[in-house]
Structure 1
């Protein structure tokens, strides 16, 4: 198939997606309202406190902007495997997930893991497309350091474009990588709901249990649907909730365009 025909197919797909998304947006857009019990003298923060819910960081009231994005479902990592050196590599999930075990662990000084990784990932013989990612502390843990793929006006946060580096003491022993190819904007920028509105949505729908800590919030892109060989992404608020009793952490997602609560991936 020649390049011109491929270009025309992608153009037709994006036009169809654009029409579909316009209709979907008009149908799903709902105004974000405060709790029905809330008055002008009772803030969301005080309601949360009354239920033993605390907030680690201030909830921003500002509205940001985002796009509808689309990516090709063509696996891009398989073609890069031959460039990687000094690591044992396997591909899985129809060649969309790359797992690497380093022959020699990447050593770093205490507290400087991301500094070492940032230098390491710049070399295409170490990490495919390594320059296309950025560190996301909200998704990282004591044993995993997560980088998300950069896209227009944000990063992918749902796993389709991530590198998770395995950390053991002061060493990086390997990583798991996914990558979304050919990211394209489908529509002009649109305003998103604020962080405060996202929390209010979760709270009024009983999605935040009593005695919980809202550990963090981050606006990023998440998968909306797969259509004709492409994946469509939208901005979403990722909200991390930690139980004060068990210390278990759960993550919630809120569609940053419509304000609807999104089901977690299986």
Structure 2
């Protein structure tokens, strides 16, 4: 018997067996290792749910909690308002104006053609910015700005213009917030994209929705005996099944504000005279 040859065969056989066992071991370790989860981006998640959106503001922003209260108008405040018949209502906190000569506008221009009238004939009119137009009520709303941002869903800081059937402004009602006081130094406000992700994780966005507008503004969080407290919020205007809903995200704390106030249009007290109704 050739022992050398036999020894060589055994060595080769054991070597092949070792390689086979090593391959089995590696394969078993690979199969037992957890498969890494594939993380979807926010964009991918929204796309998979057919949630569309336009440009989301991404510039760094700062804001703070602040306090203010409704302003009481004085006779001096309305003395320069020419070509109008003005009444001051609600403890001098609401101006009602009936124009002597209607102002023709195009509602599709988002209030751009009303700006000259605002600046020249409305008290502190340049402190307001366009917010919405209600074609059924024929009302165009401008919101007051605080720290360069609009006050949202608050009738205490608005101008509501009333239009007739010929798209002419025939009257308006104005309220205003007074001086503001910040509670502390300005802090970083979360980005619009981060606010959108918070809203999505909260489960408020339904499939097949469309985010038609994103606004950073101030919202009345709580009312105190001496003043009202406001904070910066991201407001998302969302359309779904022909219904429009507004959702708010706290810009400082990154939490969804659960409120029905932001989801319904607030009625402005009706101070119209018979003359105004006939003009319509």
Structure 1 and Structure 2 fold alike (TM over 0.5): yes
1:156-203 CA-to-partner distances (Å, cap 9, x unmatched) read 223231212234444112222220011222321111111112112221
In structure 1, stretches of 5+ residues that fail to align are 1-38
Which of 1 and 2 has greater Rg?
Answer: 2
**Residue 40 of structure 2 is aligned with which of 39, 42, 50?**
42
Alignment partner, residue 185 of structure 2: 188
Alignment partner, residue 51 of structure 1: 49
CA RMSD, Structure 1 to Structure 2 (Å)? 2.8
Deviates more, 1:150-159 or 1:69-78: 69-78
Deviates more, 1:220-229 or 1:90-99: 90-99
Alignment partner, residue 237 of structure 1: 234
Alignment partner, residue 199 of structure 2: 202
Matched, 1:69 2:66: yes
**Residue 101 of structure 1 is aligned with which of 98, 110, 119?**
98
1:210-250 CA-to-partner distances (Å, cap 9, x unmatched) read 2210111000111122223211211001100011x3x2211
State the Cα distance separating 1:47 from its structure 2 match.
Answer: 1.4
**Residue 255 of structure 2 is aligned with which of 243, 250, 260?**
260
In structure 2, stretches of 5+ residues that fail to align are 1-36, 267-280
Matched, 1:156 2:151: yes
State the Cα distance separating 1:116 from its structure 2 match.
Answer: 3.9
Report the TM-score when normalising by structure 1.
0.71
Is the 8 Å Cα contact of residues 73 and 180 (structure 1) preserved in structure 2? yes
Alignment partner, residue 140 of structure 2: 145
Aligned counterparts, 1:117-128, within 5 A: 117-123=114-120, 126-128=121-123
State the Cα distance separating 1:72 from its structure 2 match.
Answer: 3.3
Q: For 1:67 and 1:242, locate their aligned partners in 2 and report how far apart those are by CA, in whole Å.
A: 29
Secondary structure of the 1:182 match is: coil
Is the 8 Å Cα contact of residues 253 and 264 (structure 1) preserved in structure 2? no
Change in Cα spacing, 1:188 to 1:140, as seen in structure 2 (3 Å) is farther
Is the 8 Å Cα contact of residues 66 and 183 (structure 2) preserved in structure 1? yes
Q: For 1:203 and 1:86, locate their aligned partners in 2 and report how far apart those are by CA, in whole Å.
A: 49
Alignment partner, residue 175 of structure 2: 178
Q: For 1:188 and 1:74, locate their aligned partners in 2 and report how far apart those are by CA, in whole Å.
A: 25
Matched, 1:134 2:129: yes
Is the 8 Å Cα contact of residues 76 and 181 (structure 1) preserved in structure 2? no
More helix by share: 2
State the Cα distance separating 1:78 from its structure 2 match.
Answer: 7.3
Residue-pair matches, total: 221
Report the TM-score when normalising by structure 2.
0.68
State the Cα distance separating 1:74 from its structure 2 match.
Answer: 4.7
Is the 8 Å Cα contact of residues 216 and 239 (structure 1) preserved in structure 2? yes
